[in-house]
Amino acid sequence: MRGSEITRKTNETDIRLYFSLDGGDVAVDTGCGFLDHMLTLFARHGGFGLTVTCKGDTNVDYHHTTEDVGIALGQAFGAALSDKRGICRYGDIILPMDEALVMTAVDVSGRAYLGFDVAFPAERVGGFDTELFEEFFAAVVREARITLHIRLITGKNCHHIAEAAFKSFGRALKKAVSADPSSDGELPSTKGVL
């Protein structure tokens, strides 16, 4: 089973996170209901196992919790994947969520890059600052060392846009880390390293 547990403790957050690429339990408690909802969607649509507990300074706002959970998830992803031999490497999807339509593409490249072209029509959704979505994905990408593009094609409802982004990330990542039957267990790179 490709899985990893990360413990991260700072003056702002105390996180325990387990992530499995090959499925398992999903139980998320970050102290932020909307973030819990999004992480649950990500895990379920990706077919991943994910358990998270976070005690953060949510009395200030959700910034540190969101960013630090992203850091822990990215670290856990990197550790769980370890050897990238035999994976597809690339994954993409165009995912609808009612009126929202989001395109997501991922490359498990060993290079951290986030292209986040998602404009939210409101500053908050469910008590959550919408600018924190980009912070979350930036933290994941940095630590996981993947290339990720998320682009909003159309959408008016912030909740639907966020759902489409997290669901599509899960589904695109699932494709990227799945076994490539034509690879014979080789590293999916002409460079010989990812």
Give the per-residue pLDDT at 47.
98
Mean pLDDT of residues grouped by 10 in the chain (194 residues)? 95 98 97 98 98 96 98 97 91 98 97 98 95 98 98 98 98 96 76 70
- Are 137 and 70 in contact by the 8 Å Cβ rule? The answer is yes
What pLDDT score was predicted for residue 184? 77
Which pLDDT value is given to residue 190? 65
- Alpha-carbon distances, residue 109 vs 7, 21, 104, 182, 186 (angstroms): 25, 17, 15, 19, 14
Tokens coding 111: 């290079």
CATH class of 3-177: alpha beta
What CA–CA distances, in Å, run from 148 to 52, 90, 111, 179? 22, 10, 10, 19
Q: What are the residues facing 107 on neighbouring strands? A: 90, 147
